[in-house]
Structure 1
Amino acid sequence: MKHIDLIIVGGGPIGIACGLEAKKKGVNYCIIEKGTITNSLYNYPLNMQFFSSSEKLEIDDIPFISNEAKPKRNEALEYYRRIVTSNDLNINLFEKVVTVHKEGGIFHLTTDKGHYTSSYIIIATGFYDLPNTIDIPGEDLPKVSHYYKDPHFFAKQKLAVIGASNSAVDAALECYRKGADVTMLIRGPEIGKRVKYWVRPDIMNRIEEGSIKVFYNVTINKILPKTIEICNPDGEFSIQNDFVLALTGYKPNFEFLKKIGIQLSDDQKLYPQYNNETMETNIKNLYLAGVICGGMDTHIWFIENSRVHAKTILNSISKKNDVTFLRI
């Protein structure tokens, strides 16, 4: 069993920022990531463009140069990968943390590859791994996916896109332009209010001209191999369908947090408990960083406003005197 003073769970941009800050302060640390570097970004749609400009995605004041003001997925992967490799960050990839518990002031972590002890932990696991399911019959059919990657796959197919957010709108537009017959199914009365401002006119024009069909105020009753059964204020009906992209958002792994002992709010928001000034949770020496701090409100925290968590947390850890850190 190996002891590491600080273990950072999650190798996304915020986990990387925490690793950089730990290294600068001479803390014996390790980032443990269940997938590749910035695994969530890697699994984003191939052509995704960020809402934020490149300078707002920078960490540790390392310049992020992109072809356009708002960078795309491949540029972000290049940026964060180079930070990890050029700074020789201590990161274990393709290793999943399974359990975390505390005994006598020391954390014990079990992964699918080994066991560790640690004096401090930062949870920076994001929210992209667990989709918000719609819990209807047929959601588990092979033709249904909660993730979208490449529009080419849906060419010449009848595609239903469930959702009204940025991910749903981007998928609908890209797939339409690659030859898919796209129908959007939206629970509310309109396209989401947080859709990127330069994309909104495009989707509204495509809907208005009939290139992309849309049904608002929809309840989906059942997904069948060749159809979808839905209803709206006009009644119940079905539409022909080959594939479904259920892009209804994602959520943090709350069960993981609860098993550790992190307290969550009693309402539907499931806000985790932490100190705003230090990011320390109700469990001493265990911190949260990044989007996971927002519970179900995953739009509250993102890279540009949570990158400061790294400095906040490491400053808090540095002020504690119960551990003598190894110098690296």
Structure 2
Amino acid sequence: MEILDILIIGGGPIGLNCALEAQKNNLTYLIIEKGTIVNSLYNYPLYMRFFSTAEKLEIDGIPFISTAPKPGRQEALEYYQGIARQRNINIHLYEKVEKVSKENDIFEIETSKGKYFAKNVVISTGFYDIPNLMNIPGENLPKVKHYYTEPYPYAKQKIVVVGSSNSAVDAALETYRKGAEVTMIIRHSEISESVKYWVKPDIENRIAEGNIKAYFNSTLLEIREHSVIFKDENGKTIEIENDFVLAMTGYLPDFDFLKNSGIELQGECLNPLYNAGTMETNVENLYLAGVVCGGKDTHLWFIENSRIHAEMIVKNILLKQK
């Protein structure tokens, strides 16, 4: 029975960074990823551009060369998947981790394809897998999309975009420019301050000129086959014709998986309990890395500021071996 030094759950940028750090320190490791390499980035909108410049997305000091000031999805896929190839990262793809348990000092990791054993486990699963549902009637209709990829299916259609973050704004602008009739339903009083600074004036101007209709301080109440019903800022209930709903309401980590692995979750945001100096959770030798550390506050951690987690984790593992 092989017992790995580290088993890493999640093959995103931070999971890859943990693997690179393990390689440098001659630790045996394996990444298990339920999709492709950097699966979340693969599922991003096709024409998405990062907020950050390329050097802030680099891992392990490997240069990220971009032809644009802000790299896009395809460049990022080439960069991270290229690293996995060039560094011969030990990774199993299209294999889902179903259970993590611990007996004495060894973790047993059960997956959709087998069983593995490791002295240490790193959970680096991000947050992009589970939509933050509105829990309203009609949300399960085929016309409702919680993921947006490209605008072409929505040409000449009546679109409702729910939300005001980057994903909602990108969806509204792109579908509008492909001929959709776009209505935004926004819970807050303005477009989110987190929207990319070069995009925010664009959406605000489209709203001001009336090309994109926006209802602020409003709540979607029900989705019907050919319409939606919402409450506006005056408390008035309004029904409008509708073909598609793009519910850009955010995403959540798999909290059930974290709890079932023994990790304590705290407060309204279900923040996982971990040591900020080592990234070790309340379960000894079980670590967190990347966006998953933020619980429901998925805007707390990014590639840029969580790249350091890999070095922190491996440093702690090596210290315990002495």
Indicate whether the TM-score tops 0.5.
yes
- Find the aligned partners of 1:306 and 1:298 in 2 and give their Cα distance: 12
Larger CA deviation: 48-57 vs 232-241: 232-241
Q: Which residue of 1 aligns with 2:215?
A: 215
User: Aligned pair 1:150/2:150, yes or no?
Assistant: yes
Code of the aligned partner of 2:254: N
User: Aligned pair 1:181/2:184, yes or no?
Assistant: no
Code of the aligned partner of 1:56: K
- Find the aligned partners of 1:180 and 1:3 in 2 and give their Cα distance: 55
Give the gaps of 5 or more residues in structure 2.
none
Counterpart of 2:281 in 1: which secondary structure?
coil
Q: Percent identity?
A: 59
- Find the aligned partners of 2:272 and 2:72 in 1 and give their Cα distance: 31
Q: Which residue of 1 aligns with 2:244?
A: 243
Counterpart of 2:211 in 1: which secondary structure?
coil
- Find the aligned partners of 1:217 and 1:150 in 2 and give their Cα distance: 27
Whether the aligned pair in 2 keeps the contact of 1:49 and 1:73 (CA below 8 Å) is: yes
- Runs of 4+ in structure 1 over 4 Å off: none
- Find the aligned partners of 1:131 and 1:311 in 2 and give their Cα distance: 30
Counterpart of 1:148 in 2: which secondary structure?
coil
Displacement after TM superposition at 1:233 (Å): 3.1
User: Aligned pair 1:256/2:251, yes or no?
Assistant: no
1:6-56 Cα distance to aligned partner (Å, 9 max, x none) = 100000000000000001100000000000000000000000000011000
* 1:45-124 correspondence to structure 2 within 5 Å: 45-124=45-124
Whether the aligned pair in 2 keeps the contact of 1:2 and 1:115 (CA below 8 Å) is: no
* 1:29-40 correspondence to structure 2 within 5 Å: 29-40=29-40
Q: How many residues align?
A: 321
Q: Which residue of 2 aligns with 1:229?
A: 229
Code of the aligned partner of 1:121: V
- Find the aligned partners of 1:74 and 1:136 in 2 and give their Cα distance: 35
Tell me which of the two structures has the higher relative contact order, counting C-alpha pairs closer than 8 angstroms and 6 or more residues apart: 1
Q: Normalising by the residue count of structure 1, what TM-score does the alignment of the two structures yield?
A: 0.97
Displacement after TM superposition at 1:2 (Å): 4.3
- Find the aligned partners of 2:233 and 2:50 in 1 and give their Cα distance: 35
Q: Which residue of 2 aligns with 1:325?
A: none
Larger CA deviation: 291-300 vs 9-18: 291-300
- Find the aligned partners of 1:117 and 1:21 in 2 and give their Cα distance: 20
1:49-100 Cα distance to aligned partner (Å, 9 max, x none) = 0001100000001000111111000000000010000000000000000001
Give the gaps of 5 or more residues in structure 1.
323-328
Code of the aligned partner of 1:103: E
- Find the aligned partners of 1:262 and 1:28 in 2 and give their Cα distance: 24
Whether the aligned pair in 2 keeps the contact of 1:161 and 1:168 (CA below 8 Å) is: yes
